[in-house]
Amino acid sequence: MNASSANVTVILQYRDSFTKAVTKNVIIVVLGISINYINAGLLHTFSKHQIFYMNPRYILFCHLVVNDMIQVTLTVILFIISYTIYKINVSICCTLILIALFTTENTPLNLACMAVECYIAVCIPLRHAQICTIKRTLMLIGLIWATSMLSVLSDLFITLATQPLDFFHSQVFCIRKNVFPKPVIIKKRDITYSVFLVIVWITIFFVYFKILFTAKTANKDAKKARNTIILHGFQLLLCMATYAAPQLLNVVQQWFPDNYTDSLFASYVIVQILPRSISPIIYGVRDSAFRKYLKRYLLCRVSTHEATNRRI
């Protein structure tokens, strides 16, 4: 996905005023730290209770949370770099962009896998334990990463084959099109994204309607699973907005050139930050088992903090 184009928000000729730049950076840093802090609490809860890391559903969720934390951290770093350093070494920028792209492309694939797990749990409950094993779940996560790497690393190989060595020692404004400049890469990206988009959305719609049909004649768990799929679909929709972001931003740049950086900022928040804030809601709040242990963890933290204050 076009993560880097969505997450860097300043092009030099549209540079913000100092006050506006500081405000935007503070907002992004606060949002990034908040999301990662909440996700760290979810990971701590996951790691402390065997009930979670022996369940394929929570393993996939844990992978999504770790993936989101990496993605948020990198895009916030790229955001800050775009306002402060402006230009960095191509090799460093390339590394940051590649990892950001891996984690961004992992998200919809992971959501599709979680939706399929919900479908198996609701529609084929007697075979769930047989189909969704720990080993297969870990293999599935490996397949997600392999798919993302095959999609993204081809950009690097094309660039290595077509650019002189001096290019990788030069300084650039760190966005994807600057480190992977060949037009063929954009065409390849559009085709790959279209394929991903079709496969993932077919999976989401198939799973949703299967669960919807089951929920009409089944128990409350099926209805809850249906609602979870809706949230996954909304999260996926926000993630997929990355596909359309470059085209929309080009239109915005032509129509509202004076407000271009504000449009880029809004695009970054909607496409990169907002989808990563939904995961804690789905499992940290809605899931009764996870909520129980997470609440216990938070209460323990509050009690410990109060006891420390008393001693002081």
Q: What is the pLDDT of residues 147-177, one digit of tens each?
A: 989 888 888 898 888 888 888 888 888 888 8
Nearest-angstrom CA–CA distance, 22 and 79: 12
| Measured distance CA(58)–CA(229) in Å, rounded | 15
Backbone dihedral angles phi then psi of residue 88, each to the nearest 5 degrees:
-135, 170
At 11, is the pLDDT very low, low, confident or very high (cuts 50, 70, 90)?
A: very low
| Average pLDDT of the residues in 284-312 | 59
Q: How confident is the model at residue 247 (pLDDT cuts 50, 70, 90)?
A: low
CA-angle at 285, arms to 282 and 291, nearest 5°: 120
Q: pLDDT per residue over 13-50, tens digit each?
A: 456 677 888 888 898 899 889 888 888 888 887 777 77
Is the four-CA dihedral 170, 175, 181, 185 of positive or negative sign? positive
Q: Cα-atom radius of gyration of the chain, to the nearest Å?
A: 21
* Prediction pTM value: 0.80
Quick one: average pLDDT of 1-7?
41
pLDDT band, residue 302 (cuts 50/70/90): very low
Q: Which residues contact 25 (CB under 8 A, 6 or more apart)?
A: 79, 80, 83
More confident residue, 254 or 74: 74
Among 161, 157, 146, 141, which Cα is nearest to 65's? 141
For the ranges 56-65, 164-173, 264-273, the lowest mean pLDDT is seen at: 264-273
d(CA 254, CA 256): 6
Look at 98 and 295; give whichever has higher pLDDT.
98
Report whether 272 contacts 71 (CB < 8 A). Answer: yes
Contact in structure between 211 and 229 (CB atoms under 8 Å): yes
Q: What token pair was written down for 95?
A: 């590394």
Q: What's the sign of the alpha-carbon dihedral 287, 73, 204, 152? A: negative
3-class secondary structure for 227-259?
Answer: HHHHHHHHHHHHHHHHHHHHHHHHHHHHHCHHH
